[in-house]
Amino acid sequence: MAQVLSTSSATVTSTSKFAFHAYGSWRFDDLRMVSDSLTSTTTCSYDNANELLTMATGGTNTTFTYDDWGRTITKAMSGHRGAYYWRFGDKLKSYTTDFPDETTVYYNYDGLGKRRNRCENPQSGPVTWWRWDLGYNVIDEYTDSDVDWDIEGLTKTYIPGMAEIVGSNPATGAYRYYSGDHLGSVRRMRDGNKTSIATYEYDPYGGQYAFSGLALNQGFTGHTWEPDAGLYYAPYRSYSPAAAHWLTRDPLGMTDGPNVYAYVARDPVDYYDPLGLRKYDREIKCREVARTPEGVAYLCIYIGHHSDWDSYKRCAEDCKAPFLEECAGFVLGAANLPWGLAYFATYALCLSHCRDAYINQTTYHRARKICIRHWWGWKCYVHEL
């Protein structure tokens, strides 16, 4: 049974670029050097149900309590208190807090359990709204200045796993492109001129230890960061990187072992959990989706999510999915065009809609032809699908 009993941290002292040889080619990465002297140690205690009870850091204790359903209901430290309120079983309804670096926030959900809006003051607003695709990808974000519950004020359009477009009109908005690591964590953002506008560094369990530029939005393993409560949002659970712990039990039970609060069975370097249900690594996810009808389209999006062509090819060889080589050719061709990343992102979005059309009993070949016909623009967003 895996539990995090203690962690140690050190001060970042410098950044250097290193080259190393792997898979027959040279790769480059930014590595951070840290001092040898540890600056803080956190020690944790748990009950027999693996509920995190205390975290002690530098003589300061943070305590947690739970309800009969195993949901976290309070967090307290040094006279400050935060309270979690739940609805529909596992959906966080609100979080009230007097911690100095947090803000009271309220959430609402639709009938499918997807989070639809958040606000700090339900009486006056503003309200942040989200629209989703048929899966669990946010495609639009709105900032509404009032609380009349009409969705207004488009501010961002998302191309899942690859980019966000800032502005009320996606055709003229400012692109921000994600660069990710092997887990899908956003490590850097660039604008349409390829200029770096943000960098993010995480500890193994997702805590931010260094960043520059824009505030974090899509972060650790691609999850949405909620700064008000210090949580990452997954469709089925909320995750606290500070505690390396989910706030609620795994809805699937002990699928990842007896500790139903543990993040990816305490192996965050190799695995990630996109939904808050179970751990995945790249090969598991690849093989799983390749066996589904929409596997080819999903895999074409998967390469863009991880920005790693070599890994995609290895994944493709392992999956042996039908049409995979043809699909890979389309993706590679799109990426090599002028302004290839923007074209590729639109193509991947189109593929996502093709996938949805296939699920709705539209034949794959027809959907694929539609997608190819319209991959160069947003027409795929509205035509025939």
Span 42-62, pLDDT tens digits: 899 999 999 999 999 888 999
Per-residue pLDDT band at 296 (split at 50, 70, 90): very low
The closest of 297, 265, 260, 261 to 281, measured between CA atoms, is 265
Tell me the pTM: 0.70
> CB of 370 within 8 A of CB of 364?
no
Q: Residue 91's pLDDT is what?
A: 95
* pLDDT above 70: residue 362: no
Higher pLDDT, 364 or 247: 247
- Exposure string (b/e) for 155-183, b if CB count within 10 Å is 16 or more? bbbbbbbbbbbeeeebeebebbbbbbbeb
% of the chain at pLDDT higher than 90: 48
Q: Residue 122's pLDDT is what?
A: 85
Average pLDDT, stretch 107-117? 93
Average pLDDT, stretch 223-244? 94
Cα 180 to its chain centre, rounded Å, is: 11
Beta bridge partners of 143: 128
Span 207-218, pLDDT tens digits: 988 889 999 999
Helix, strand or coil, per DSSP, at residue 258: coil
Nearby residues of 163 by Cβ (< 8 Å), 6 or more positions away: 175, 176, 177, 178, 341, 342, 345
> CB of 105 within 8 A of CB of 228?
yes
Q: Residue 166's pLDDT is what?
A: 96
- Please report, for the chain, the start and end positions of each structural domain, with discontinuous segments joined by +: 65-278, 283-381
